[in-house]
Amino acid sequence: MIRSRGVIHRDFKPANILLPPEAPRVIDFGISRFLGATSVTPSGLLGTRGYAAPEQLQNAPLSTAVDVFAWGCVMVFAATKRSPFPAGNGEAWREQVLHGSPETGATREPLLRIVLYCLHKDPAQRPTARDLMDRLVETHSAG
């Protein structure tokens, strides 16, 4: 829904997802931005360590790909109870996000393949939200 409204959340994480019986809800749009805003860069607000995309750490222009990256991080957390980039201090974490491989632990196929696609370092190589949804539906239908 937020994609169809042209919003980049920029802080998508487990604490910002509610799971009521009717459907999941994303909350806390405190640092979100509209696509096409005059500045869609981090502007000093990076979101939460463990869920921020590489481009958020490089002061690069942002797109909805940051939320797709964060979704991949949330799925790893759901499977393992750990961030895929668990480095302790800020600089080690930054290095891990920018150059390291995600630690996916107990994340299993077919979800693992989709998650790794979402965690690609290059935002242009990540799926769009629509592509991600299509892949999830296709995987669920095949299973």
Q: Across the strands, what pairs with 8? A: 33
Respond yes or no: is residue 67 known to be catalytic.
no
Could you give the 3-state DSSP secondary structure of residue 26?
strand
| 3-state secondary structure (DSSP) of residue 128 | coil
**3 state DSSP class of 33:** strand
Q: Report how far Cα 123 is from the mean position of its chain's Cα atoms.
A: 11
| Omega within 30 of 0 (cis) for the link into 110 | yes
Q: Which of 11, 122, 131, 134 is catalytic?
A: 11
| 101, amino acid identity | S
> What amino acid positions are annotated as catalytic residues?
11
